[in-house]
Amino acid sequence: MKYVNNYKLNLITPNEINDFGRFNSELGTVLKFIQISDNKTATRDILNLGEYKNISTNTVNMINEYTGAKISTENAIGGRVNMGNAWKELMDDIRTEGRTEGRIEGQSKGEEMLAKLLKKLDPGSAEFIKALNATSNERQEMYIKYGIK
């Protein structure tokens, strides 16, 4: 190890910082978001306060990279992102994604339940035809009647 210099290395630990206002650059913003990235409530609260309302796209990209966030920079104006709007857009995207996944899962579950029901019925019987043409409520009654969960 005689050829390796012994340089002093300063590490910054976001969780140990109490006053991010001491930073004269947006590094404080990045560190703050790293600190609260696991706390959705704190993230929402800080964005609603407007303290970090207008952030450069480079800073947003760093936040996204270091925290795994997906904050959009598409609507940046003059290289700056309105974080309140960006957060709202992100939450709207997440909700839409969740609804889509829920619909797909619900459709799949419905198909699975219909298949179970049809297996219990005789093909061509009145009940079989009724199951195929039933409304959602009628089908739910049939699931209960035939013990399908």
Structure tokens at 48: 């609603």
Task: Specify the range with the lowest mean pLDDT, choosing from 21-25, 111-115, 129-133.
Answer: 21-25
Which pLDDT score is estimated for 118?
92
pLDDT digits (tens, 9 = 90+) for 41-55: 887 777 777 777 788
The pTM of this model reads 0.57
Q: Is the pLDDT of residue 28 over 80?
A: yes
Mean per-residue pLDDT, 11-40:
88
Cα–Cα–Cα angle for 55, 95, 68, rounded to 5 degrees: 45
**Three-state secondary structure call for residue 25:** coil
Q: What is the pLDDT of residue 145?
A: 92
Averaged over 113-126, what is the pLDDT? 91
The pairing of strands 54-56 and 80-82 is: antiparallel
Mean pLDDT, the chain, as a whole number?
87
Distance CA 114, CA 132 (A): 8
SS3 45: helix
pLDDT, tens digit, for every residue of 123-137?
Answer: 989 999 999 999 989
Query: What is the rounded distance in angstroms from the CA atom of residue 9 to the CA atom of residue 42?
Result: 31
Rounded CA gap, 91 and 38, in Å?
A: 15
